[in-house]
Amino acid sequence: MMKQQDVILKVENVSKQYRLGVVGTGTISHDLNRFLAKVTGKEDPYLKIGESNDRSTKGTSEYVWALKDIDFEVKRGEILGIIGKNGAGKSTLLKILSKVTGPTTGCIKYNGRIASLLEVGTGFHPEMTGRENIFLNGAILGMTKKEISHKLDEIIEFSGCERYVDTPVKRYSSGMKVRLAFAVAAFLEPDILVVDEVLAVGDAEFQKKAIGKMQNISSQAGRTVLFVSHDMVAVRNLCSRCIILEKGVVIFKGEVEVGINEYISQTERNIQNFNFKERKKINNLPFFADFILFNKEGNISGSFKISESIFLRSTLQSKFKAEVTLRISIFDLNEFRILAFDSNNTQEKFFLKKGTNIITCELLDGLEIKPDKYYINISIRNGVDLLDHIVRVASFNIVESDYYDSGKLIEGDIPLVLKKNNWKLN
Amino acid sequence: MKKEKWLFNISPKNNTFNLNLKEVWQYRDLLFLFVKRDVITLYKQTILGPLWYLIQPLSTSVIFTLVFNNVAGIKTGGIPPFLFNLAGITTWNYFKECLVATSDTFKKNEQIFGKVYFPRIIMPMSIIISNLLKFAIQLFILICFYLYYVFFTNSGIRPSEFLFLFPVLIVFMGMLGLGLGMLISSMVTKYRDLTFLVSFGIQLLMYISLVVIPLSLFQKKGVEWLVMYNPMGYIIETARFLLLNEGNISQFGIAYTVIFSVLCLLFGTVIFNKTEKTFIDTI
């Protein structure tokens, strides 16, 4: 019975359905059907249909399940990590938890106050002063005027904006706005705090402050934190338990170490490789018939250490002899083009023979970039003419490793590009 | 198995008649802070500031008097046409401002509603309250002109002995504006068509709400049905009766208006509460 009481939040079979496409005349007929079913006491006709939320394939149904039968419990004082790829349903789950939107089926039971730190600074009015905004924002987050007055000095001190507190917020720098907003939320003292990607905003110092405050909230005040992120390092540092979401389903719940390992290996298995079989070429130009990444051992892989050798092998089919140049571009998840290997730049032209040709790009020292997920685009050209190109032909992960051979992982914030160097004291 | 005790529960459907008034009460500070925000930020970076709220009804009254009374020759009984129009417009403006502002609630606050939860009804309620301030400013100018006509002209105007009921009228107007506004704002989340309807519908509605044309004229021309079922018509007519002792009051009209306003507010609140759970998915 004691154990029962420890559970502060219980999520039971929560599902969320979304309708795809635009709202148009179809919507009103669906609404009418739904209404008819309700009046005649039947089940909602659109609840039975719906597909899992796999965005890469075009589904047949207009309805998808962003979340399906989510089931978990959180104990008092625990920091639970919720991890998953983009589109796995994390944000939807958080929205339901913070009552921004309701679930389609299922229910959530909890004791105490839930507050969400979804995005700090919503609700600031630019024309009002910092002090007025503290009150307004605090009240939006659910505090009473009395509570806020009580903590006002602490909030102002934590934000470090004393000097500007009677100046309209529109004169604040964006960093000051974030600090002020976080300060308000930090003194909210809810029983359950929901945090989503706040750490993505603000500088390193602010992030440290935010993480420290969260640890504080849980360890000293015994409050519960639900922490959503795809920053594995932060999850590992903060959380004791985690759940992994994939395509709207919980695929793992348990210890954080086990969970993160599971998540990484699962990501490797699930590289969204381009399906070459379904490819149809309409013209007679040379085209890509296959593209793979493999490591030094010659095994196909989707995950490489920072300085591990990577081999990118393109298979080209041609119906005639041709002269082409090849370009491989690497993008990060923000669609930022990080690197490109273009044989045109190195004045290398490949003379394709009739039939199958294999071209391999060797990166013997690896990519030496920050551990993260990356995508590859490939193209072949003849001079300026684009013969074939494939967007997101493959993806891979760069994983943390002992890059400097120092016997430990790289500490702190890893920059985008890494380079080995020598230090010399003269 | 022992029955578990939970304080709160999030489930797919709101109980239709659970209006969560307790929760609204908990957030009462937010309501006042929103009103304060509206008041503070109203005149920021304007030169004329609150004067804008005087210019608008005054200029409208002048134009209406010229067009409807001088040119078209509409008779306003023994009341100076300007005062007749000003009283109508001032009253009408409060309803209009309430309806237009609340009917936009979900769309306008999508950003903040999508991020954090508080009882959504706080937002339209704060609009109704902060509009009272604008109304007070406009009422002040009406009173100034009113006193001028009473003391400095021999038009013979005097208020009705029921003038003390005027605030009750404002309450019903607020209820009507809030109820209709919430109803529309709930539907706008899915069907944007209504936004267009509100912006020109409110203009059309003004002409059949007895703002410029008195009920007696409608009756004389035999088109009474145009205004018979419009509660705003009765409100404006009653307001003018209370202030200027002019026009006729029907018991049917008052009963109809009261019932209509109460039902409208109830229905609006229920629909609004139903919508607040899922609107973020459809907006």
pLDDT band at A4 (very low <50, low <70, confident <90, very high): very low
Q: CA of A206: how far to CAs of A164, A180, A199, A201, A412, in Å?
A: 18, 11, 8, 8, 14
CA A255/CA A80 separation, integer angstroms? 10
Q: Which of residues 114-153 of B touch A (CB under 8 A)?
A: 114-118
Do both A256 and A307 map to the same domain? Answer: no
Domain count, chain A: 2
CA B97/CA B118 separation, integer angstroms? 24
Question: Of the residues A241, A268, A295, which one is the last residue of a structural domain?
Answer: A268
Give the residue from chain A lying closest to B25, CA to CA: A144
Residue A149 inside a domain? The answer is no
Please tell me the predicted confidence (pLDDT) of residue B2.
45
Please tell me the predicted confidence (pLDDT) of residue A310.
93
- Residue B12 and residue A105: Cβ atoms within 8 Å? yes
B75 touches chain A (CB under 8 A): no
* Mean of pLDDT values over A308-321: 89
Tell me the pLDDT of chain A averaged across its residues. Answer: 80
Q: Radius of gyration over alpha carbons of chain B, in Å?
A: 21
* Mean of pLDDT values over B169-182: 92
Of B145, B205, B151, B177, which Cα lies nearest the Cα of B264?
B177
Give the residue from chain B lying closest to A9, CA to CA: B6
* Mean of pLDDT values over A334-348: 83
Do both A249 and A390 map to the same domain? Answer: no
Which positions in chain A touch B30 (Cβ < 8 Å)?
139-140
- CATH number for the domain harbouring residue A313: 2.70.50.60
Do both A258 and A395 map to the same domain? Answer: no
Do both A348 and A214 map to the same domain? Answer: no
CA A14/CA A23 separation, integer angstroms? 25
- Residue B9 and residue A123: Cβ atoms within 8 Å? no
Q: Would you say residue A51 has pLDDT above 70?
A: no
Q: Would you say residue A118 has pLDDT above 70?
A: no
Q: Would you say residue A96 has pLDDT above 80?
A: yes
Asked if A294 and A282 count as a contact pair (C-beta separation under 8 A), the reply is no
Q: Higher model confidence: residue A298 or residue B258?
A: B258
Which positions in chain B touch A104 (Cβ < 8 Å)?
12
Choice among A74-78, A118-122, A173-177, A355-359 with the minimum mean pLDDT: A118-122
Do both A251 and A347 map to the same domain? Answer: no
* Mean of pLDDT values over A129-153: 89
Q: What is the pTM of this model?
A: 0.71
Residue A47 inside a domain? The answer is no
Which positions in chain B touch A1 (Cβ < 8 Å)?
2
Asked if B117 and A95 count as a contact pair (C-beta separation under 8 A), the reply is no
B1 touches chain A (CB under 8 A): no
Please tell me the predicted confidence (pLDDT) of residue A328.
93
Do both A382 and A301 map to the same domain? Answer: yes
Q: Higher model confidence: residue A319 or residue A52?
A: A319
Give me the residues paired with residue A67 across strands.
A16
Do both A263 and A334 map to the same domain? Answer: no
Residue A33 inside a domain? The answer is no
Please tell me the predicted confidence (pLDDT) of residue B20.
73
- Residue A128 and residue B40: Cβ atoms within 8 Å? yes
* Mean of pLDDT values over B205-225: 83
Please tell me the predicted confidence (pLDDT) of residue A389.
86
Question: Of the residues A212, A241, A268, which one is the last residue of a structural domain?
Answer: A268
- Residue B37 and residue A10: Cβ atoms within 8 Å? no
- Residue to mutate among A75, A76, A122, A148, with most B CBs inside 10 A, is A122
Which positions in chain A touch B45 (Cβ < 8 Å)?
127
3-state secondary structure of A44: coil
* Mean of pLDDT values over A24-35: 67
Residue A105 inside a domain? The answer is yes
Q: Higher model confidence: residue A274 or residue A103?
A: A103
Do both A257 and A293 map to the same domain? Answer: no
Q: Which residues contact A239 (CB under 8 A, 6 or more apart)?
A: A79, A80, A81, A227, A256
Residue A181 inside a domain? The answer is no
Do both A230 and A370 map to the same domain? Answer: no
Q: Would you say residue B50 has pLDDT above 70?
A: yes
Please tell me the predicted confidence (pLDDT) of residue B211.
84
Q: Would you say residue A24 has pLDDT above 60?
A: no
pLDDT band at A358 (very low <50, low <70, confident <90, very high): very high
pLDDT band at A312 (very low <50, low <70, confident <90, very high): very high
CA B206/CA A313 separation, integer angstroms? 73
Q: CA of A326: how far to CAs of A286, A330, B275, in Å?
A: 12, 14, 54
Do both A310 and A354 map to the same domain? Answer: yes
pLDDT tens sequence across B88-126: 899 999 999 999 999 888 888 888 888 888 888 999 999
- For A103, the domain range is 77-113+190-268
- Residue A18 and residue B41: Cβ atoms within 8 Å? no
Choice among A16-25, A365-374, B147-156 with the minimum mean pLDDT: A16-25
Q: Higher model confidence: residue A35 or residue B252?
A: B252
- Residue to mutate among B8, B18, B282, with most A CBs inside 10 A, is B8
Please tell me the predicted confidence (pLDDT) of residue B178.
92
Residue A255 inside a domain? The answer is yes
Q: Would you say residue A23 has pLDDT above 60?
A: no
Q: Would you say residue B1 has pLDDT above 60?
A: no
Please tell me the predicted confidence (pLDDT) of residue B177.
92
Residue A347 inside a domain? The answer is yes
Of B113, B93, B256, which Cα lies nearest the Cα of B186?
B113
- For chain A, which residues lie within 8 Å of any Cβ of chain B, measuring from their own Cβ? 1, 4, 10, 18, 23, 27-28, 95-112, 114, 116, 118-119, 122-123, 125, 127-128, 132, 135-136, 139-145
Asked if A18 and A63 count as a contact pair (C-beta separation under 8 A), the reply is yes
Please tell me the predicted confidence (pLDDT) of residue B240.
86
Hey, which of B4-8, B20-24, B165-169, B217-221 has the most confident mean pLDDT?
B165-169
Which positions in chain A touch B4 (Cβ < 8 Å)?
4, 10, 109
Please tell me the predicted confidence (pLDDT) of residue A372.
85
Residue A132 inside a domain? The answer is no
Do both A98 and A197 map to the same domain? Answer: yes
Do both A240 and A350 map to the same domain? Answer: no
Q: Report the Cα–Cα distance between both ends of chain B, in Å, rounded.
A: 43
Please tell me the predicted confidence (pLDDT) of residue B124.
92
